[in-house]
Amino acid sequence: MASVYPTNLEIVNAIVPLIASQGGIGQHATILDRIVDWLMANKRSIHFSGGAVTGWSAGLHLDRGRVDVWLTAIALEFLVCYRELVIDFMVQKVSETGCDTQWPKALSVQLHTLVTHSLQRLPKSGSRRKS
C-alpha cells in the first residue's frame, strides 16, 4: 500500500495546474492533506560520519536506511507546488475580507533555487560488497 503514494504523488504533480485552476486548496484540501501527511510520516534522515541525508523512500524498498533520489525529487516538486497553492489560498481569503493583497515576487521560490550548488559527491568506495 505504501508504494501507491509515490505513484499518486507523480500524478498529482502532473495535474497541479488543473488543481490550481479548479478551486485549489479550497476544493482539494482533503487529498492534498493526505499527501502532506504521508510525506511527513515517511520522511527519513540517514546520518553518517560526514553529515546526514534527508528524503523519502518508496514503499517498494522497506530498508529504513535508504533515501531514493527519484521519490525525494518528486516530493520536493510537490511541496514547492503545494506551497504555491497555499499562498494563492491565503491571498484569496485575505482578499475576500476586502484587503488588497499581493504576494511579493521576491518571496516566490523556484525549485532550482533550493539546490545548493556547492554539494559534493562522496568519495567512491574502493571495494564493493560481493553477494
Beta bridge partners of 51: 48
Read off the amino acid at residue 86. V
pTM of the model: 0.69
Query: Which residues on neighbouring strands pair with residue 47, listed in sequence order?
Result: 52
Note whether 102 and 91 are within 8 A (CB).
yes
Q: Residue 7: its pLDDT value, please?
A: 65
Question: What is the residue whose three cell numbers read 553477494?
Answer: 131
- pLDDT (tens digit per residue) in 64-90: 678 888 888 899 999 888 888 888 888
Q: Helix, strand, or coil here: 47?
A: strand
